[in-house]
Amino acid sequence: MDQQTCSRCGKENMKLGGNEVFTCIDHTCNFICDCDVNGGKNIALKNACEIDSAAAERARKAAATAQPGGGASTPLAALHPSP
Ligand SMILES: [Zn+2]
């Protein structure tokens, strides 16, 4: 559950119940946050990871198809495509 997972360290707090405030169980983290905000952060992090892996996949394909000395497509260009 997104709202039970610490958006800072990733640990799950299964004892949240109906609490509106998320409190991390990790005492070195001690992250405290509104549950909705914490859940939103986790969803945003998840989406960011999916975007990152898609960009990484494009970079891998670009690197695989790039011709030595061609210079047309580089992994950097695939990660930051111009509009
Ligand atoms: Zn935490």
CA separation for the pair 33, 39 (Å, rounded) = 10
CA–centroid distance, 49 to ligand 1, in Å, is: 19
Cβ pair 10, 38 in contact under 8 A: no
| Residue-range domain boundaries for the chain | 2-79
Residues 6+ apart with CB under 8 A from 18: none
Q: Residue 81 has which token pair?
A: 């495509």
Q: What is the pLDDT of residue 26?
A: 94
CA separation for the pair 70, 6 (Å, rounded) = 46
Q: What is the pLDDT of residue 77?
A: 56
CA–centroid distance, 27 to ligand 1, in Å, is: 8
What pLDDT, in 10s, does the model give residues 18-73?
Answer: 889 999 999 999 999 999 999 999 999 889 888 888 888 998 999 898 766 655 55
CA–centroid distance, 28 to ligand 1, in Å, is: 8
